[in-house]
């Protein structure tokens, strides 16, 4: 990430676990038990996407009540959202893409951020601006592991969290790449389990996802 977590000794968000859960919540009341299940399963970094009206309150609840979680905001696309989510307690930011205005706001926020890229030109543009860690999105549609492997040679200083179309079967191949720190995905938080408030099932799925580090991943 481009700026440190609250303690300089803390690792990058890319290094906390092999998988970054991408969470969509319709009810903020589910945020805390969901976050506790993910943390118990070994996935402390949690991306709550700004796709529902409940997202800000969910971030605020996790930040205030689940101290072992590192909660971040996803689908951040405007400077105004940057201000709102950091005020709610988000400890990192994730965007599907970037503009100069958004990048400036994310940098000024003082928290780590992953701007989204899908082309070599976008990666080079961010490297020119001092950004080394990025979200590769939409990963499968944008070329998948073959594309990322091709980027590793000419642009070895860039590290990625690929997200989009990745599941437990494909995650290990991504994690085996030298320029991938972790992958983003939602398979450990299936909509039916959230709707049923089946936190035990989510904890089990999170534990399996956390174990992908031992299935060929290199999440350093």
Q: DSSP states of 161-197 as a string? A: EEBSS--TTTHHHHHTSTTB--EEE-TTS-HHHHHTT
Q: Per-residue pLDDT tens for 120-142?
A: 999 999 999 999 999 999 999 99
Determine how β-strand 113-114 pairs with β-strand 116-117: unpaired
Mean pLDDT across the stretch 50-66? 98
Among candidates 17, 47, 36, which has minimal Cα distance to 111? Answer: 47
Q: Residue 219: what pLDDT?
A: 36
The catalytic site residues sit at 47, 135
Q: Assign 3-state DSSP to the chain and report helix, strand, coil percentages, each to 5.
A: 40, 15, 45
8 A C-beta contact, residue 38 and residue 66: no
User: What pLDDT, in 10s, does the model give residues 9-45?
Assistant: 457 999 999 999 999 999 999 999 999 999 999 999 9
Q: How many CB atoms lie within 10 A of CB 150?
A: 12
- Per-residue pLDDT at 216: 47
Q: What is the pLDDT of residues 8-17, one digit of tens each?
A: 345 799 999 9
At 170 the pLDDT is 97
Q: Considering only CA atoms, which of 45, 96, 103, 106 is closest in space to residue 70? A: 45
Please list the residues that pair with 114 across neighbouring strands. 94
What is d(CA 146, CA 160) in angstroms, rounded to the nearest whole number?
14
Q: What average pLDDT does the chain have?
A: 93
């Amino acid at each position: 990430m481009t700026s440190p977590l609250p303690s300089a000794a803390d690792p990058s968000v890319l290094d906390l676990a092999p998988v970054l859960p991408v969470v969509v919540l319709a009810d903020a009341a589910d945020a805390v038990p969901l976050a506790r299940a993910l943390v118990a399963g070994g996935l402390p970094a949690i991306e709550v996407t700004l796709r529902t009206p409940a997202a800000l309150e969910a971030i605020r609840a996790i930040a205030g009540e689940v101290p072992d979680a590192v909660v971040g905001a996803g689908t951040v696309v405007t400077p105004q959202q940057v201000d709102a989510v950091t005020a709610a307690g988000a400890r990192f930011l994730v965007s599907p893409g970037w503009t100069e205005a958004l990048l400036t706001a994310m940098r000024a926020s003082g928290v780590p951020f992953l701007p989204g890229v899908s082309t070599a030109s976008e990666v080079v543009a961010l490297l020119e601006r001092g950004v080394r860690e990025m979200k590769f999105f939409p990963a499968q549609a944008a070329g998948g592991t073959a594309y990322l492997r091709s980027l590793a040679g000419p642009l070895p200083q860039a590290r990625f969290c690929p997200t989009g179309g990745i599941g437990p079967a494909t995650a290990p191949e991504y994690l085996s790449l030298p320029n991938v720190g972790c992958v983003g995905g939602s398979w450990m938080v299936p909509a039916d389990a959230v709707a049923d408030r089946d936190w035990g099932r989510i904890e089990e799925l999170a534990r399996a996802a956390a174990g992908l580090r031992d299935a060929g991943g290199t999440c350093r």
